[in-house]
Amino acid sequence: MSSSPEIPVSLESGLNKKRTAVKLSGAALFLLSFQTLGIIYSDIGTSPLYVLNGIWPASGDVPSKEDIIGGVSAIVWSLTLIPLIKYVFITLLFGTQEGEGGSYALYQGLFPPDDHDGDLDRTLTGDSYKQASHKRSTISERLRLPLLSWCLLGTALTIADGVFTPAVSVTSAVGGIAVAKASVTAQIIPISIVILLVLFIAQRFGTAHLAFMFAPISFVWFLLLAGTGIYNIKSHPGIFRAFDPSRAVMLFVRTGDYDILAGVLLAVTGCEAIFANLGQFNALSIQMSFTGFVYPSLVLAYLGQGARLIEDGEAVLSNIFYTTIPGPANGPLFWIVFVFAILATVIASQAMITATFSLVQQLVNMKALPPLEMTYTSETIQGQVYIPVVNWTIMIGTIVVVAAFSNLAALSNAYGFAVATVMFSTTILLAVQMRWVKHWPAAVALGYFILYGFVDGLFWGASLKKVPLGAWVPLMIGVILMLFMSLWTWAKGLEDKFDGENRTNLRHFIHSNSDEQEDEEEEEGDEEVAEEKVKPLQYHYTVEGYGDKIEDEKHPLVRFPTCAVFHKFTRGQGAPHTFTGFIRQWPALPRVVIFLSVSVVPIARVSKEARYAITKVRTVQGFYGVTAYLGFREAFDIRVGDIIEQICELELGLDPTQINGAVEEIRAVSRSTTHIAPHYHVVSKHVDAGKFSFAVNWIRKYLIEDIYRRLATMFPETGNWRFAEEIIRVGINAKI
């Protein structure tokens, strides 16, 4: 007889084989850079459609020559400071070791989930994700709540951005019809709505079949922007004075019009995608494509529009983008640009909708939203997920927004606020990461925060002034979503705390006639465990009632040839409620018992080799503790077959001769697997809040029992489980 050592399946070695940041060179790197054009830059690439009219509306007066140069200068330097320097050359440094980015990844890096899963019988522990993850943050726990709230607000506004991006982009592109055919001006809104309807209805089919077209279309679009920009610059070469940043400063000094910044902000919409999509490419490919192609194309486009506005004034103010296309309004180039503008805005809208699906998936995995129904539209491309309720909600919101904001100026006013808040959120999280995760000098983090906090703060303040003019819509959407996510995070946290604190120690619940002898052997330092076949198993528990306690009720247990997976919704010590409840109702043990908990880790995806950490329970044969590590962008898909194979590897490592045939028996009984999960009926417990106790407990009861409990019933934890052949739900009353 030999004791069970710690598991030989090392999570650390597995994670060393996980998906890492893409490293390419030569033609492969060039191709990857080309592919970024259709995914990352579709939003920022369509900004020239509406930015200058966002600064100088068609209904206003023609700006002066110096004002135009100053406005274009503000656009050029905003593109330089924010997407180029902040995102491409600074923010990309803060991707995870696996090359993943995004604001939620930043928060996860600051506060990784608890690594310790505890022991089932206080004798063995599995490998910890902590051993393999990047350096943990040393930030104070007191900052968790404010940073979480700020992150949730930024995330909620990003989702709100998913409503406005399609609305602004498509309406701006369709508006070109009015330039060539003034008679159809009244049809711009209906045409835009039809395009949006087709776009959202097509979401259920996924983007895998169209994605290969995105990059070539975007490539041609940026070429058209650069080409028309170069041609237009010839009309007034003096526009190059816009490279002097003092022209931008003097514009605000001269006019005192702070609101201009809200229009300039539209030029950098979509810059957050540069960081959020890091995991699909790599930093070098993004830096190459943006600095070598996208940035110069955008700068040339804005310079060209500014030059034509200076020269032609009133003639082009009605729609600066379309009226500055070289040639006649009905000419071939005009319609070529128009077609590619429509295609580019559809791509931008598609990218934002897909990003919203991915973001909601992350929030569901992090338990900040209920488990919404998800459909995975690609078997090969990870992250292509379709969420019906989100799709139809965004569609309704977008169509209502297009119909309600009947002109582009009103839409633009509403659009910028969400963008500015998300940029500010990223700046704060990055500054905190610099100090407490990267452990850079405090002066560096402070300097970064002062510089970009000031820049982002200017944009945020300008967009905040647009709240009465339409920005209240995304603000309202964002606040409602943030409050809902905060409620769900809080209530779910209380439920998980109850789950973690009310566990049963396996040694106290299941024991054998030889337990007393075994305890004596352990005290003497002998860790040998007698074979289970000579130790009949029993279980016992304490019954509480009316002040009396009946202890040590013992019941015999038999083993039956099957496999059962008992799901632990939280990580922690002891056997879950599902196991004790199951045994009390059916006093029999499956031959293979797996206690499974899931840990969502601060990386996007975890490889198959690193997916599971396994411990063998030494007191009862056939019991295993398993921790499944999922990336925050991954589906909740646990493959029992993979777990069984690793269990067999573990058993072979413990007994290479396999005289007792344990491996064959495990494989045989595991062909029939049952998943057992808890269903909590939550009840609000009384809390002492002094003289406010009545009000606090009434509100608490309403939030937990009338809102959270009903939603939890509508959206059960098992709603998105893709792996259960059969699920048995064990009801549990939870006072939280």
Position 658 scores a pLDDT of: 63
The confidence band for 694, taking pLDDT boundaries of 50, 70 and 90, is very high
Place of tokens 């909620």: 156
What's the one-letter identity of residue 399? I
The pair of three-digit structure tokens given for residue 102, joined into one six-digit string: 């995004």
Which residue, among 22, 498, 73, has the nearest Cα to 286 in the 3D structure?
Answer: 22
Bigger pLDDT: 527 vs 225: 225
Residue 108 scores a pLDDT above 90: no
Residue 119 scores a pLDDT above 60: no
Phi, psi (deg, nearest 5) at residue 683: -130, 135
Three-state secondary-structure class, residue 732: strand
Query: What b/e readout covers 161-192, taking b as 16+ CB neighbours within 10 angstroms?
Result: bbbbbbbbbbbbbbbbbbbbeeeeeeebbebb
User: Which residues partner with 510 through β-bridges?
Assistant: 539
Strands (E), 504-547: 510-512, 537-545
What's the one-letter identity of residue 301? A
**Eight-class DSSP state of 294:** I
The pair of three-digit structure tokens given for residue 410, joined into one six-digit string: 């009103």
d(Cα 165, Cα 34) in Å, to the nearest integer? 23
Mean pLDDT of 601-611: 76
Exposure of 381 in the CB half-sphere (CA atoms within 13 A) = 16
371-385 confidence digits (pLDDT tens): 888 876 654 444 567
d(Cα 696, Cα 45) in Å, to the nearest integer? 50
Which residue, among 565, 559, 634, has the nearest Cα to 593 in the 3D structure?
Answer: 565
Measured CA to CA in angstroms, residue 474 lies from 305, 319, 395, 487 at distances of 29, 25, 15, 20
Position 81 scores a pLDDT of: 96
Position 540 scores a pLDDT of: 52
Please report which residue ranges of 437-548 form alpha helices under DSSP H: 442-464, 472-501, 506-509, 515-523
141-167 confidence digits (pLDDT tens): 778 888 888 888 888 888 887 888 888
d(Cα 650, Cα 551) in Å, to the nearest integer? 37
454-464 confidence digits (pLDDT tens): 999 999 999 88
Place of tokens 């079949």: 209
CA 237, 242, 246, 250 torsion-angle sign = positive
User: Which residues partner with 729 through β-bridges?
Assistant: 677
Lowest mean pLDDT among 48-52, 424-428, 612-616, 670-674: 670-674
Residue 228's Cα: distance from chain center in Å? 37
**Eight-class DSSP state of 111:** S
d(Cα 619, Cα 531) in Å, to the nearest integer? 10
Residue 703 scores a pLDDT above 90: yes
The pair of three-digit structure tokens given for residue 119, joined into one six-digit string: 């022991």
Residue 9 near residue 649, CB atoms below 8 Å: yes
Contact residues for 118 (Cβ-Cβ < 8 A; gap 6+) = 125, 571, 572, 573, 574
Which residue, among 456, 457, 451, 449, has the nearest Cα to 431 in the 3D structure?
Answer: 449
The pair of three-digit structure tokens given for residue 595, joined into one six-digit string: 């206690």
Measured CA to CA in angstroms, residue 88 lies from 252, 272, 277 at distances of 27, 10, 12
Give one DSSP letter per residue of 685-722, joined into a string. PP---GGGHHHHHHHHHIIIIIIIHHHHHHS-GGGG--
Lowest mean pLDDT among 123-132, 402-411, 594-603: 123-132
Bigger pLDDT: 434 vs 385: 434
d(Cα 563, Cα 592) in Å, to the nearest integer? 5
Mean pLDDT of 330-346: 91
The pair of three-digit structure tokens given for residue 495, joined into one six-digit string: 């439920």
The pair of three-digit structure tokens given for residue 408, joined into one six-digit string: 């582009």
The confidence band for 484, taking pLDDT boundaries of 50, 70 and 90, is very high
Q: Would you tell me how many other CB atoms lie within 10 Å of the CB of residue 314?
A: 9
Residue 96's Cα: distance from chain center in Å? 14
d(Cα 370, Cα 492) in Å, to the nearest integer? 9
Position 138 scores a pLDDT of: 61
180-220 confidence digits (pLDDT tens): 777 777 788 899 899 999 889 888 776 555 556 788 999 99
Exposure of 395 in the CB half-sphere (CA atoms within 13 A) = 17
237-271 confidence digits (pLDDT tens): 999 999 999 999 999 999 998 889 988 999 998 88
d(Cα 9, Cα 615) in Å, to the nearest integer? 9
Give one DSSP letter per residue of 663-679, joined into a string. HHHHHHHTTSEEEEEEE
Strands (E), 252-363: none
Helices and strands in the chain, H and E counts: 30, 11
Q: Would you tell me how many other CB atoms lie within 10 Å of the CB of residue 331?
A: 13
Region of residue 122 (left: phi > 0; alpha: psi -120 to 50; beta: else): left
Strands (E), 546-700: 548-556, 558-568, 588-601, 612-616, 623-631, 673-683
Domains (range + CATH), the chain: 34-110+138-491 (1.20.1740.10), 502-735 (no CATH)
Q: Tell me the pLDDT of the chain averaged across its residues.
A: 80
